[in-house]
Amino acid sequence: MINPLSILKDIIPSENKDVHKSINSDIGLYNTTMDKPSQTPIRILLADDHNIVRAGIRQFLEQSADLEVVAEASNGQEACTLIEQFQPDVAVLDIQMPVMSGIEVTRWIRAQKLAVGILVLTAYDEEPYIRAVLQAGANGYVLKTAEPEELVRAVRDVFDGKSVLDATLTQKLFRKLSLPAENPNTEALTERELQILTLAAKGYTNKAIGIQSQISSRTVQNHLANIFQKLNAESRTEAVMRAVSLGLISSQLIHK
């Protein structure tokens, strides 16, 4: 690759020694930066009971230099074993798999308190599946009809600690959450809780919310727990959408 600073050096007359000295210094810095290896790829476990589906998904994901599939599983129990062995950053799980479902694997990961982001990739778009997956503790839910770039973006977002929901499913969840609940009395959110929920809707991680609000990540977690309880929600995504359905925050704030 041609160093653009070298071209600039050729253009400027050699009499300008101070400028040339500065450019020479910048060229060294440029070359050093370009020689540095890229950041460590996001390590992914892929679990689906169809070999051809896994092959296709893997091909899509590994077209991006920052993504690497380190293990593949054909059933839920194998996924759990490989997660313990490889400790991936993100687990991409189908719902319907032999031995253990993707939902059961998600519950197992959360019960083990493993630092693994969970993205469910499935053909099921029915609301009960969405709710079950989110309640189990998944970070994202994407349909297999999604475009490759949407899947790649979803993996990156889950790795960054964000919640992800396929755009085509948003209305389904909105409609369900807008129905009267069994316990219709929703306790009012405090000003601080509303601020934190608004930042969560924008896609901020707990750490980023803490920095923005000048509080610790642990305090953010405590506020989110209170928000979940008040809104009868099991996840950030469900809490945000329930807040939208109640008119507490605008749907335009939701991170896409």
Instruction: Report residue 169's pLDDT band, with 50, 70 and 90 as the boundaries.
Output: confident
Q: Report pLDDT for 245.
A: 66
Give me the phi and psi of 90, to 5 degrees please: -135, 135
State the CB neighbour count (10 A cutoff) for residue 83: 23
- What is the per-residue pLDDT for 22? 46
pLDDT at 236: 82
Sequence-distant (6+) residues with CB within 8 A of 4 are none
Residue-wise pLDDT tens digits, 183-221: 445 578 898 999 999 998 888 889 999 999 999 999 999
Least Cα distance to 129 among 117, 144, 141 occurs for: 141
Model confidence over 171-183: pLDDT tens digits?
A: 666 665 555 555 4
Residues 66-102: pLDDT tens digits? 999 999 999 999 999 999 999 999 999 999 899 999 9
| Type of residue at 24 | N
pLDDT for residue 57 is more than 60: yes
CA distance 68 to 45: 9
Q: Which of 168, 203, 161, 159 is nearest to 61 (CA)?
A: 159
Specify the CATH number of the domain 179-253: 1.10.10.10
Beta sheet of 140-143, edge-to-edge order: 67-73, 42-47, 90-93, 117-122, 140-143, 164-165
Candidates 3.80.10.10, 3.50.50.60, 3.40.50.720, 3.40.50.2300; correct CATH number of 42-174?
Answer: 3.40.50.2300
**pLDDT for res 9:** 39
Residue 140 has pLDDT above 80, yes or no: yes
Contact yes or no for 135/175 (Cβ under 8 A)? no
Burial of 25 (0-12, 13-18, 19+ CB in 10 A): exposed
Domain ranges of the chain: 42-174, 179-253
Q: What are phi and psi of 117, to 5 degrees?
A: -75, 145
Measure the CA–CA gap between 104 and 151, rounded to whole angstroms: 22
